[in-house]
Structure 1
Amino acid sequence: MSRLSDLLRAAKQLDPQLGEDLETEIRPLQERLPFGLNFERHAPEAVELPGHRIRKTSKVRVLPPRGSAEQGDQRLWTVDMIDGDTATITSPNGAGVETVRAAIEDLVLVAEFRDRIYPGLRPDATVQRGGNKPFHTVINGENFHVLEQLTFTHERSVDAIYIDPPYNSGARDWKYNNNYVADDDLYRHSKWLAFMERRLKLAKRLLKPEDSVLIVTIDEKEYLRLGLLLEQTFPEAEIQVVSSLINPAASARPGSFGRVDEYIYFVRMGAAAAGRVLLSREWVSAKGRTHTGAPRWDMLRRSGGGARRQDSPGGFYPIYVEPAGPRVAKVGAPLPPGVSVPDPIEGTVPVLPIRKDGTEGRWMWSKQEFERRLAQGRVRISGNEQRGFVVSILKDGEYAKIVDGEYTPSGRGPDGSLRFEKENSDLVRATPGTQWRISSHDATQYGSRLLRDSFLPGREFPFPKSLYAVEDTLRFFVHDKTDAVILDFFSGSGTTAHAVMRLNKQDGGHRQCISVTNNEVSADEQTRLLRQGLRPGDPEWEELGICDHITKPRIQAAITGLTPEGKPITGDYKFVDEFPMADGLEENAAFFTLTYESKWLVGVDRAFAAIAPMLWLRAGATGSRIDSIEGGWAFAESYGILRDLDDSAAFVEAIRGREGIRMAYIVTDDEGRYQQVADEIHGIETVRLYEDYLRNCEMTGDF
């Protein structure tokens, strides 16, 4: 509250009475006990970056000797000087500073999350089978820093984020500050919350505030804390949680009930809503409002609260039915108070809203609304004189499905009501409830086994999601957004990207997925490799990391239809879209590694190769990429770069004659000249390099 005290003091100097009034209102708030999440937000978080270049002033750690599985010296050192293969490093030591010489190969770069970084991307590979479709991208890097980088390329432009973060099980399943978090760590939950909050705040900057969704899966260990964290981070959003069956066999836990499900949080921003999509029958209950493959007819007589005649006297009127149809012959006026028998009309039977207990009820529609909707075909008469006649209607929601083309009338019945050919009752168009018990969501069958037996034979990945579960979850929010951008910054095995590619095949969409993962090696694998004398950064180590060993090969296999060994993938896709996995998918993908650049080199235009992929990403990740500029300017299919302002006239003329250009990057330190060029380019977003990039890095560094 110290900042608030300073502001109150300033307010008193400007207006003593206002300051006193504010202090009176705030004092009770200061005395209240905190409510909600309380955790240590300032716990330090840092990441070691093996393989990244060490420069003068870099922060580093000294690695333990090769062959040792010990953690080693955890102090942070600063590089003061580099001389060939060695460096002079210093670290505070009591009242003084300790200085030592160390081989550069024994040092590893360290980035603390409070430091500003200047990210770049190093292209690794591409796979192309999708023609002019945008590229899916996989970025190997610390996800917090990649999210910082994405604030330059994708701020407020992501339609959906799907993440499966670490569940904080205590089983060495994630690291904080370069150490695995165990179940006996007193700050285990605080570390997890701080870890998640930092990333969720950046993720919020990427989502479209007017219409987007964040989807987070979690189990019982952190779901309550996650719920509160989401409420605090996204106070303007609508949040709902779903329980989803993922393991029908149940995961046994001594003394406890076996775990069969997990939770899925849906954080809906702006107008985002779960759409009605085509689902199998197991999605919907056979109880209550069933889905029969055709519009649902409801009774005109009101039930529930406010269903008595006196609740709406205008709703008690006779509907005269001609039995030969049966059809509506006439609609009478509301009966006056005290009158319960309508005037007879020869050849018709009057029908009134009499409830099952014999008391007088009311119709749901007024006489005028009934007559108007009768003409629309929204009234159906069933029954006979002996059993009585029943008046059924199509409510507004059901009629909207007809107007939208979801159901097509096949004609009208004798009573004038709309008729429909019954659709396949095995498939229904619906929005499901909050308990999902779907056979295709079995994570063992369609996650672990699918990965190990089909796409990556012999390779193991712990607890991958069912491909079809992720596909179904996303479908509710992107089925009508065929150009959606989807982000997964805990991408693990790459299931989200795989699911997005399958969605594209089903409707010809051009959705693109950005997958972010690191190249971490599993805890058990690390111990084995360390004892062999290997370290992070060594090729033999890195080839077993998540990104290089699992994520990239899985996405390449999904597109090409071939395993990493070049053999056709065995098996068929199932459920919504069935075809051989060996057919592959007509998609494009590009793979990158996050780099850490020098602010000075970027500012003087000497780091273009590292910034170039980011410019391509910001322009939509479509078509070719400008990796170098021979002359004063260059164009790709979706963007252009002006590097020499002396060529600005030719650049502007060229850009006007090109279709599909969505962005223009202008390299200059002169704000006036930049604005002059930007004003001559209409309908195209312009970005000033490298000012906009550097300013974004510095703003994010303060975030």
Structure 2
Amino acid sequence: MSRLTDLIAKAKAKDAALGAELDREFKILSSRLPFGLNFERHSPEAVELPLRPIRKGDKVRVLPERGITRKGDQRLWQVKAIHKAKKTADLELLGATAVETQTVALNDLVVVAEFRDTIYPGLVSTGKISRGGDKPCHTVINGENYHVLKALTYTHRGTVDAIYIDPPYNTGAKDWKYNNDYVEGDDLYRHSKWLAMMERRLLVAKELLNPADSVLIVTIDEKEYLRLGLLLEQLFPEAEIQMVTTVINRAGSQRAGRFSRVEEYIFYIFFGDAQVGLWTSTMLDDTIKDQKATMPTVWFTAIRRGTPSALRNARPNLFYPIFLHAKTGKFHSVGDPIGKDVDRTHITPPLGTIPMWPVHTDGTEQTWRFSADRMRQYFSAGTARLGKRDPSTGLRPVTYLQPGTLENIEKGTFVVTGRNEEGALELSLADGAAKLLAPRTVWSQSSHFARDHGSTLLKGMLGEKRFDFPKSLYAVEDCLRLVLMNKPEAIVLDFFSGSGTTAHAVMRLNKQDGGKRQCISVTNNEVAADEQKKLLEQGARPGDPEWEKWGICDYITKPRVAAAITGKTPDGEPIKGDYKFTDEFPMADGFEENAEFFTLTYETPVSVNYNLAFNRIAPLLWLRAGARGSRIDKLPNDGWAVADTYGLLSNVDTATPFIKALSKANGIRIAYIVTDDDRRFQAIAKRLPDDIEPVRLYESYLTNFSFTNGE
């Protein structure tokens, strides 16, 4: 190693640029693990964007002539000029030793994005269904999932409660593409391509998960489970990982001369305080054992942790002291917020008390989960309590009962048996309540059979077979239930959403416990391999309406989500049959839920900065504020507007009426302020109500993607 560093130093002295490049590559190689999972990253991964308009400076490929089924020219060209009148573009070959140019019709070009490129995403709504009143919206986003994940770093960084994905299993049967080409079974780099594809997406997914309390769930079969397990351990060393074996087909999948396969695998990756809830079955078989009922854990930490919005500077109104009696450690009172700039050590506590702040063990100032007034209400009602006293500091952890637990008390599932000596509620299971058991790591449930409750169920919903090998609806439902049963307002993400089973399962959970969970489903509009060949022979190409209508998002995901909510097939007929198992009712009843469908767009920073792309940025602002209620889809004429969960100030000179309107509104979470002047932004932010988060547009948007979109 020392010899190499000496040689690099000499190279830098002779050629600074070459030396720097060698140094960079050396650091990459030396940082790799000497053992464990090593693989080629195959960088850069690239994707074609057939719906994206051609712009000057774009990287493009030249499409083959219509009617040609063979693979076209895969070289990358740069658009040097566009001739609108002639509808052509001048191109120059990228990476060539000699200059090569050509002029090509715009219709014969497709934009290519490499995954190290910076993107500035937007969303265009393509339809909605509203049957859920004020519930948040489930969203289905049509786009390359890596780019959509990048978009979600602006809207959901650190706030997702659960990610469930069923990625391609890499069987070699044209089940996924890498760099615009199917990965065949005889590809010598099949496994490393799959790992590179998964690694990129999981790294972005990690930014979205709440590090203090969330779960990543990944399903897989025997083709890649060993490599996936190693990859997960390397990417998430801070997490706890368990693998579940689940029977999906007791009849077995025949393998000549080998055992008949009946199972798949589910990896659970637990972050922070995430837990598996107790359930009425061990999941090992369909029989419910008569065992003694066990009261589940229902008290959760009152400190918000892990996300940017959990820091004191982001929500100063949620930074306040709880005072304890210095001698006994018992609860005394809840103090008021002290503001953003006050040193907490300068606060004088009531006589005979010590203050307790929401501060991490490393000294980071965080926040409580709710306001001081609500904390007082919780202590008064006995729904907040103090834990065991730390003998070294005299402080005690604060926990509280989440909304789902309070609903279970109202429904009679949990019974209040009294209060402890400090007034906190004491709970037990009601007589006759279902026996609650710890789920096992081997599942064998008839409800999880993919054929009966995946393929057959989906065919009944859509009126015809449109998708191969969907997961059992009830299998996905159980996967999520065991980690979300105490999170009735959880945010769930599936970025390999396929037929939309995850969104459907979340709706089922909501109906069972009155929850308001929301699911973000991400899929592209890839056309099945066999269908692609037919369409190419007919002269169609990606981007054409006759091609896109057969894509997985438009042909399967959106119709399935719509059918689940409305209870009707795409032809308008009531869906036949009943839901089974945990909650039985006619499928034709549908669900009281809301959903909206979007397509990912690609904007320029100039158009964003000058308000020219606002109608496509608007859905992102709405998503960040909770995807609930009304949306501000165009710049307001009055210079400001207030929706159900957020406000927009587009003209800072109208700040006073905007702030007055926010003060009168209920449920506002965010105030977006459009200004290039940081001092004016800070001045307006200080005047906002304490529980509203100020966000500066478009600085927050542009900065987010400028710093998160490189490989």
TM-score (ref. length: structure 2): 0.76
User: Secondary structure at the residue paired with 2:516?
Assistant: coil
C-alpha distance 248-649 of structure 1, shift in aligned 2 (>3 A):
same
Provide the C-alpha distance between the structure 2 equivalents of 1:281 and 1:224, rounded to a whole number of angstroms: 23
1:43·1:191 contact (CA, 8 Å) conserved in 2?
no
Q: 1:31 to 1:662 in 2, by over 3 A?
A: closer
Pairs within 5 Å for 1:544-563: 544-563=550-569
SS in 2 for 1:585: coil
Match of 2:653? 646
Paired with 1:113 and 1:489, the residues of 2 have a C-alpha distance of 16
The structural deviation recorded for 1:460 is 2.0
Instruction: Indicate the residue corresponding to 1:384 in structure 2.
Output: none
Match of 2:71 in 1: 71
1:488 to 494, 513, 518: 494
Correspondence list, 1:211-226, <5 A: 211-226=213-228
Residue 42 of structure 1 deviates from its aligned partner by 4.0
The equivalent residue for 2:376 is: none
Q: Does the residue aligned with 2:655 lie in a helix, a strand or coil? A: helix
Q: Which amino acid in structure 1 is aligned with residue 160 of structure 2?
A: V
User: Are the equivalent residues in 2 in contact too, given 1:294–1:407 (CA < 8 A)?
Assistant: no
Q: How does 1:691-702 map to 2 (within 5 A)?
A: 691-702=699-710
Alignment of 1:258-657 (within 5 A): 258-279=260-281, 283=285, 291-292=290-291, 294=293, 423=432, 428-452=435-459, 454-628=460-634, 629-657=636-664
Tell whether the 8 Å contact from 1:293 to 1:423 is kept in structure 2 after alignment: no
Contact preservation (8 Å) 1:572, 1:581 = yes
Matches of 2:416 and 2:672 in 1, distance apart?
Answer: 53
Range with greater deviation from structure 2 (138-147 or 32-41): 32-41
Q: How does 1:130-145 map to 2 (within 5 A)?
A: 130-145=132-147
The amino acid that maps onto 1:686 is P
Q: Per the alignment, in what secondary structure is the counterpart of residue 247 of structure 1?
A: coil
Distance apart, 1:292 and its partner CA:
2.9
In the alignment, the residues of structure 2 paired with residue 576 and residue 546 of structure 1 have an alpha-carbon distance, to the nearest angstrom, of 29
- Counterpart of 1:206 in structure 2 is 208
Alpha-carbon spacing, 1:274–1:580, altered in 2? closer, same or farther (3 Å) = same
- Give the residue type in structure 1 aligned to 2:59: K
- Aligned AA (1:595): T
Counterpart of 2:331? none
Q: Is the 8 A contact 2:673 2:695 kept in 1?
A: yes
The structure-2 alpha-carbon separation of the partners of 1:406 and 1:636, relative to structure 1 and needing over 3 Å to count, comes to closer
Helix, strand or coil: the match of 1:81?
Answer: strand
Per-residue CA deviations over 1:85-144 (Å, capped at 9, x if unaligned) read 111111047531111111111101110001000000011100000000000000000000
Letter in 2 for 1:456: L
SS at match of 1:252: coil
Task: Indicate conservation of the 8 Å contact 2:78/2:94, yes or no.
Answer: no
Match of 2:425 in 1: none
| Letter matched to residue 668 of structure 2 | I
Structure 1 SS opposite 2:140? strand
8 A contact 1:123–1:592 mirrored in 2: yes
Residue 291 of structure 1, CA deviation: 3.7
CA distance in structure 2 between the partners assigned to 1:521 and 1:174 by the alignment: 11
* Alpha-carbon offset, residue 277 of structure 1: 2.3
Q: 1:35 to 1:295 in 2, by over 3 A?
A: closer
Are the structure 2 counterparts of residues 406 and 586 from structure 1 closer, same or farther at C-alpha, using a change threshold of 3 Å?
closer
Match of 1:154 among 140, 153, 156: 156
Matched residues in 1 for 2:68 and 2:32: separation? 52
Q: CA deviation at 1:184?
A: 1.1
Shift in alpha-carbon separation, 1:648–1:263, aligned structure 2, 3 A: same
Corresponding residue number in structure 2 for 1:349? none
**How large is the RMSD of aligned CA atoms in angstroms?**
2.7
Distance apart, 1:242 and its partner CA: 0.3
What letter corresponds to residue 462 of structure 2 in structure 1? Answer: L
Give per-residue Cα distances to partners, 1:313-370, cap 9 Å, x unaligned: xxxxxxxxxxxxxxxxxxxxxxxxxxxxxxxxxxxxxxxxxxxxxxxxxxxxxxxxxx
CA contact (8 A) 2:88 2:104 kept: yes
Residues 295 and 407, structure 1, Cα contact 8 Å, conserved in 2: no
Matched AA of 1:699? F
Distance in 1 separating the partners of 2:4 and 2:519: 43
Whole-Å separation in 1 of the counterparts to 2:633 and 2:4 = 49
Cα offsets for 1:42-76 (capped at 9, x unmatched): 43210001121110001110111000101110000
Structure whose alpha-carbon radius of gyration is higher: 1
Contact 1:284-1:432 within 8 A present in 2 as well: no
Choose which of 122, 125, 128 in structure 1 pairs with 2:124.
Answer: 122
The letter for the 1-side match of 2:697 is L
- Give distance in 1, aligned partners of 2:95 and 2:212: 52
Give secondary structure in 1 for the equivalent of 2:541: coil
Residue 598 to residue 532, structure 1, CA distance change in 2 (3 Å) = same
Checking the alignment, whether the CA contact within 8 Å between 2:124 and 2:598 is kept in structure 1 is: yes
**Deviation sequence 1:478-501 (CA, Å, 0-9, x none):** 111000000000000000000000
Identity, in percent, stands at: 61
How far did 1:258 drift? 1.6
Alpha-carbon distance, 1:695 to partner: 0.4
Inter-CA distance 120–292: structure 2 relative to 1 (3 Å threshold): same
User: Unaligned regions of 5+ residues in structure 1, if any?
Assistant: 10-28, 297-400, 411-418
Partner AA of 1:140 in structure 2:
N
Partner of 1:88: 90
Shift of 1:459: 3.1
Q: Which segment is superposed worse, 91-100 or 43-52? A: 91-100
Give the deviation of 1:34 after TM superposition.
Answer: 1.4
Q: Aligned partner of 1:521: which letter? A: V
3-state secondary structure, aligned to 2:215: strand
- Superposition deviation, residue 406 in structure 1: 6.3
Per-residue deviation, residues 127-179 of structure 1 (Å, max 9, x unmatched):
00000000000000000000000000000000000000010111110000111
Pick closer, same or farther for the CA change 1:221–1:31 going to 2, 3 Å.
Answer: closer
| Superposition TM-score, scaled by structure 1 size | 0.77
Change (3 A) 1:4 1:511: farther
| 1:346 corresponds to | none
Give the secondary structure class of the aligned counterpart of 1:686: strand
Cα 1:641–1:182 change in 2 (3 A) is same
Structure 1 residue 658: Cα displacement: 1.0
**C-alpha distance in 2 between matches for 1:638 and 1:451:** 35
Q: CA deviation at 1:32?
A: 11
Long gaps (5+) in structure 2: 10-28, 296-404, 418-427
C-alpha displacement at 1:279, in angstroms?
3.4
Distance 1:598 1:295, change over 3 A: closer
Partner secondary structure for residue 74 of structure 1:
coil
